[in-house]
Chain A
Amino acid sequence: MLPINDEAAQWVARLNGDCDDRVRAEFEAWHDADPRHQGAYLRAEAAWMMLDRAQVMTHGDTLHSRRALEEKVKAHRAAVNRRYVLGGAMAASVAGAGGVGYVLSHRLSFATGLGELRKVPLKDRSIAAVNTDSQIDVDMSERLRHVALVKGEAWFQVAKNPDVPFVVSAGDIRVRAVGTAFSVRRRKEGVDVLVTEGTVEAWNVNDKDGRVSLTAGHEAFVTEKPEVVAVNFRPDEVERRLAWREREIILNSEPLSDAVAEFNRYNARQIVLADPALGASQLVGGFQVDQPETFARAVHAALNVPVSIQDDRIIIGTNATAL
Chain B
Amino acid sequence: MTVKTGDARKALLAFVGTQILPHESDLRHWLLRLGVKAHELDDIVQDVYCRLLRLERVDHIEDPRAYLFRSARNVLLEQVRKSKIVSIMTVQNLDELGVADLGPSPESAASSRAELTRVLALIGDLPERCRQVFELRKVHGLSQAETAKALRISENIVEKETAKGLVLILRHMAEAVVPDVPVRRPKPPEFGVLYAAD
Contacts and interface: CB of A to CB of B under 8 A. Distances in A.
Interface of A: 3-6, 9-10, 12-14, 16-18, 28, 31-32, 35-55, 57, 59, 73, 76-77, 80-81, 84-85, 88, 102-104, 119, 121, 125, 127, 129, 157, 181, 196-197, 236, 239-240, 242-243, 245-246, 250-253, 281-287, 291, 294-295, 298-299, 301-303
| Listed residue (B150, B163, B187) with the most chain A CB atoms within 10 angstroms of its CB | B163
Contacts of B142: 77, 80-81, 84
Contacts of B149: 84-85
Contacts of B193: 285, 298
Interface in B82-137: 111-113, 115-117, 119-124, 134-136
Contact of B194 (A39, A46, A125, A299): A299
A125 B18 contact: no
Interface stretch (B30-38, B49-57, B59-67): B49-57
A302 B193 CA distance: 8
Nearest to A101: B139
| Listed residue (A53, A240, A243) with the most chain B CB atoms within 10 angstroms of its CB | A53
Contacts of B24: 43
Contacts of A28: 2-3
| Listed residue (B21, B150, B158) with the most chain A CB atoms within 10 angstroms of its CB | B150
Interface string B160-187: 1011001101110110000001111111
Given A9-B170, A239-B184, A103 B116 contact: no
Given A13-B162, A42-B53, A43-B16, A283 B119 contact: no
Contacts of B196: 281-284, 302-303
B47 interface: yes
B192 A103 contact: no
Contacts, number: 243
How many interface residues does chain B have, given as a range? 35 or more
A285 B185 contact: no
Contacts of A250: 185-188
Given A38-B53, A39-B45, A252-B186, A121 B116 contact: yes
A104 B133 CA distance: 12
B6 to A, nearest CB: 14
20 contacts: A12-B162, A13-B166, A17-B162, A28-B2, A32-B2, A39-B45, A43-B21, A46-B14, A51-B138, A54-B119, A77-B141, A80-B140, A84-B150, A239-B184, A246-B185, A252-B188, A281-B196, A282-B196, A284-B188, A287-B191
Contacts of A43: 16, 21, 24, 45-46, 49, 170
B155 interface: yes
B144 interface: yes
Contacts of A84: 142, 146, 149-150
Contact of B42 (A4, A12, A246): A4
A55 B140 contact: yes
Given A31-B2, A48-B166, 12 more contacts: A36-B46, A42-B16, A44-B170, A50-B18, A51-B119, A54-B119, A54-B120, A55-B141, A57-B115, A77-B141, A287-B192, A303-B196
Contacts of B49: 38-40, 42-43
A88 B142 CA distance: 12
B8 interface: no
